[in-house]
C-alpha cells in the first residue's frame, strides 16, 4: 500500500512541476518496477522465519518420521 501511495505522490509531483508527459510515463513505469521488486523482497524477508520453520519440518519428517518400505 505504501508503494502505491508513493507512486501516486511521485506522479502528482512530476505533473505539477511541468515535466513532459513522456518523461512522467517513463518515470512512473521505472518507479513502479523498482517498488514492485522491493516490495517482493520485503515480503520474502517477512516470510523468511516461516520458510525456515517449514524447511526444518520437512527435513525432520524425511529423516526421522517417515520410513520407506
For 9-52, what is each residue's pLDDT tens digit?
888 888 888 888 898 889 889 988 998 899 899 999 999 999 99
Contact yes or no for 31/7 (Cβ under 8 A): yes
The structural domain count of the chain equals 1
- Cα distances (Å, whole numbers) of residue 28 to 9, 33, 56: 11, 9, 41
Which one, of 4, 29, 33, 2, lies nearest residue 21 by Cα? 29
SS3 22: helix
Contact yes or no for 3/39 (Cβ under 8 A): yes
Q: Look up the domain containing 32 and give its range.
A: 2-65
SS3 18: coil
Tell whether the model's pLDDT for residue 69 goes beyond 70. Answer: no
pLDDT band per the 50, 70, 90 thresholds, residue 6: confident
The model's pTM: 0.61
Q: What is the pLDDT of residue 60?
A: 94
Amino acid at each position: 500500500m505504501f508503494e502505491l501511495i508513493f507512486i501516486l505522490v511521485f506522479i502528482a509531483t512530476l505533473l505539477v512541476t511541468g515535466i513532459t508527459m513522456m518523461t512522467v510515463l517513463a518515470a512512473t513505469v521505472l518507479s513502479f518496477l523498482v517498488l514492485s521488486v522491493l516490495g517482493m523482497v520485503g515480503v520474502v524477508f517477512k516470510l523468511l522465519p516461516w520458510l525456515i520453520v517449514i524447511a526444518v519440518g520437512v527435513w525432520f519428517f524425511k529423516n526421522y518420521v517417515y520410513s520407506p518400505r
